[in-house]
Homo-oligomer: A and B are copies of this chain.
Amino acid sequence: MRLDERKLRILRTIIDDYVMTATPIGSRTISKRSELGLSSATIRNEMSDLEEMGFLEQPHTSAGRVPSEKAYRFYVDTMMNAGALSEDEIAFMRSYFNARMTEAEEVVARTARLLSDLTDYTSMVMSPELNTVIVKHVQLVPVTPGRALAVIVTDAGLVRDSFIAVPSGCTATDLERLSNMVTARVKKMPLHEAVEALNRGAGEEMEEQRSCFTSVADAIAHDISREASRGVVLGGATNLLKHPEYLDFDKASSMLAILETKEQLYRILSKAAKMEFTVTIGSENELPEMQSSSVVTATYKISGKPVGSFGVIGPIRMDYAKVVTVLNQMGITLSAVLTGMLSPEDKK
Check if B144 sits within 8 Å of A345, measured CB to CB. yes
Task: Return chain B residues, CB-CB under 8 Å to A142.
Answer: 137, 139, 153
Number of A interface residues, CB 8 Å? 41
A:102-154 near B, CB below 8 Å: 102-103, 106, 137, 139, 141-147, 149, 151, 153
Give A204 Cβ to nearest chain B Cβ, in Å. Answer: 27
A:228-256 near B, CB below 8 Å: 236-238, 241, 247, 249, 252-253, 256
A:144-181 near B, CB below 8 Å: 144-147, 149, 151, 153, 157, 159, 161-164, 168
A344 an interface residue at 8 Å Cβ cutoff? yes
Task: Tell me the nearest residue of chain B to A234, going by C-beta.
Answer: B260
Knowing A100-B222, A163-B103, A237-B260 are in contact, say whether A141-B168 is a contact too (CB < 8 A): no
Task: Return chain B residues, CB-CB under 8 Å to A249.
Answer: 241, 247
Task: Return chain B residues, CB-CB under 8 Å to A219.
Answer: 102
Check if B143 sits within 8 Å of A159, measured CB to CB. yes
Copies in the complex: 2
Check if B153 sits within 8 Å of A143, measured CB to CB. yes
A342 an interface residue at 8 Å Cβ cutoff? yes
Give A128 Cβ to nearest chain B Cβ, in Å. Answer: 14
In the bound complex, CA of A144 to CA of B257 (Å)? 40
Task: Return chain B residues, CB-CB under 8 Å to A237.
Answer: 237, 256, 260
A343 an interface residue at 8 Å Cβ cutoff? yes
Give A137 Cβ to nearest chain B Cβ, in Å. Answer: 7
Task: Return chain B residues, CB-CB under 8 Å to A145.
Answer: 345
7 other contacts beyond A102-B222, A149-B153, A241-B256, with CB at 8 A cut-off?
A137-B142, A145-B345, A149-B159, A149-B161, A236-B260, A238-B253, A247-B249
